[in-house]
Structure 1
Amino acid sequence: MELIANNIIISVICITTFAIIYATIIFMTILKHDHFICSNCHYEFKPKYVTLVLSQNARYGKVLKCPKCNTLCFMEELKDK
């Protein structure tokens, strides 16, 4: 019984670790290749990694706070040129 419990715990730890690594790679890719544009003042910026991870997701962008006008609104995600 202990062997099964240990195997389950090890499996959960491995899957969680893989999910965290995968999410980090995805967010780093977004941060490297994309920028966001404020729908209020049209200011283009790249958010910090922590801000990107903790922000709310929307269908084609994120809900972020603009560093220029300090408005919390939907930000469209655009590819860098």
Structure 2
Amino acid sequence: MWRAGWPVQAAEQSVPSCWVELLAVSKACQAVELLSARVELFRLSAERAKLLSTEVELSHTGSAKLLSGQLLHARSTEVEQLRL
């Protein structure tokens, strides 16, 4: 026998049908809550990945600026040495 999409066990047949249906609804709600938690975890993982990507991008940009500054300093030093 089935009620609300869940099989009814022999022991449950003596329980009022509203309790069996309430149990089925409770199990369905738990499944929805679990799915919702998984979706939130996925969203947070995607957000973290985006932040890490931005951090790496900023790190590379900072390294490029530092390298550019070092090259500029080295060239200005070369120019000063040529002037002497």
Please give the TM-score of this superposition, normalised by the length of structure 1. 0.43
More strand by share: 1
Q: Which has the bigger relative contact order, CA under 8 A and spacing at least 6? A: 1
More helix by share: 2
Q: Specify the structure having the higher radius of gyration (Cα).
A: 2
